[in-house]
Amino acid sequence: MNDAAVLLAAQGPDGVSGESMPAEEWEQRLG
């Protein structure tokens, strides 16, 4: 889960690359 958090932080709030989930799902999973 840490890796996902790091990737999300590196991408930014709207920098989702579409690898697996949209930003909203990342927010739900990471809390």
DSSP string, 1-31: -HHHHHHHHHH-TT----SS--HHHHHHHH-
pLDDT value, residue 29: 79
Kindly report whether the global pTM for this prediction surpasses the value 0.85. Answer: no
Per-residue pLDDT reduced to its tens digit, 1-31: 577 776 666 665 655 555 566 778 778 877 7
Q: For the chain, what is the largest distance between any 2 Cα atoms, rounded to a whole number of angstroms?
A: 19
Structure confidence at residue 31 (pLDDT): 72
Supply the pLDDT for residue 22: 72
Residue-level pLDDT at 3: 76
Tell me, what's the pLDDT at 15? 55
In total, the chain counts a number of residues equal to 31
